[in-house]
Structure 1
Amino acid sequence: MQVIGIKELQTNPGKLTKAFQDNDYLLITKHGQPLGLALPFAEGIMEQGLLPWFAIKGFQSGDLSLGQLSKALGKNQHETIKLLELLGVPVADYDFAEDLAAIEKMLAA
């Protein structure tokens, strides 16, 4: 999620287009206070509904934890993981090469 002030958005509307092209959403503020959300259109909005879709996008971007997502969806974590699997959303995001390097470093010590 990106945060942008309303004045900046007025002077540089291309930032909104860029965020949509990157499939990202914007929190629009005025004097540092939340004013609104701008989000790209996606089929998931129509299929899942706005709140669940928005919560899932928040999870994908790292803004929500699995527990927070589960609470927002009104599901337990097991049900949430199954839903994410059906939607093709990875539950864990890690860098395999980074993990191997850390293991090799531990073994070398």
Structure 2
Amino acid sequence: MQTFSIRDLRERTGDITRAAESGEMAVVAKHGEPIFLTVPFDEFLLQHGVKVDVAIKLFATDVLTLAKAARFAGLPQEAFIEILGSIGIAAVKYDPAELDEELKLLQQ
């Protein structure tokens, strides 16, 4: 997620637009304090609403945990996990080596 200043709104509109077109949210700040969030407008946003769309983007970029993202979206974790699965985002993020180690422990 990129951060832009108020001045950037005038001088870097192309960068802000490209970020939105690539599905990336951005924060706009004034004197270093966030004042608003840009959210890409797409079909998913129309179908699921702003809260779910933002929650998924924040979860996918590791800003929010699964539980916090589900709460932010106003959904039970199970429903949030189903939505993640439907768009190809893994609900559990394990390092392959860590997963192998845990599987070995379970087999003992």
1:39 aligns with 2:60: no
Aligned counterparts of 2:59 and 2:8: Cα–Cα separation in 1: 27
Name the aligned partner's letter for residue 14 of structure 1. G
Aligned counterparts of 1:42 and 1:21: Cα–Cα separation in 2: 9
TM-score normalised over the length of structure 2: 0.75
1:58 aligns with 2:55: no
Contact 1:9 1:15 in 2 (8 A): no
Aligned counterparts of 1:82 and 1:36: Cα–Cα separation in 2: 29
RMSD: 2.3
- Give 5+ residue unaligned stretches, structure 1: 104-109
* Count of residue correspondences: 100
Aligned counterparts of 2:95 and 2:22: Cα–Cα separation in 1: 21
Contact 2:20 2:39 in 1 (8 A): yes
User: In the alignment, what sits opposite 2:105?
Assistant: none
Name the aligned partner's letter for residue 2 of structure 1. Q
Residues 55-108 of structure 1 deviation map (CA, whole Å, 9 limit, x = unaligned): 111111221110111211233333322221123322234665xx39xx7xxxxx
- CA drift of 1:32 comes to 1.3
User: In the alignment, what sits opposite 1:91?
Assistant: 91
- CA drift of 1:39 comes to 2.0
1:13 aligns with 2:13: yes
Name the aligned partner's letter for residue 35 of structure 1. I
Aligned counterparts of 2:15 and 2:58: Cα–Cα separation in 1: 19
- Give 5+ residue unaligned stretches, structure 2: 102-108
Instruction: Report sequence identity in percent.
Output: 29
Aligned counterparts of 1:79 and 1:20: Cα–Cα separation in 2: 26
Query: Cα–Cα, structure 1 residues 18 and 94, in superposed 2: closer, same or farther, change >3 Å?
Result: farther
Residues 17-68 of structure 1 deviation map (CA, whole Å, 9 limit, x = unaligned): 2212321011101111222121221111110011111111111122111011
Name the aligned partner's letter for residue 58 of structure 1. L
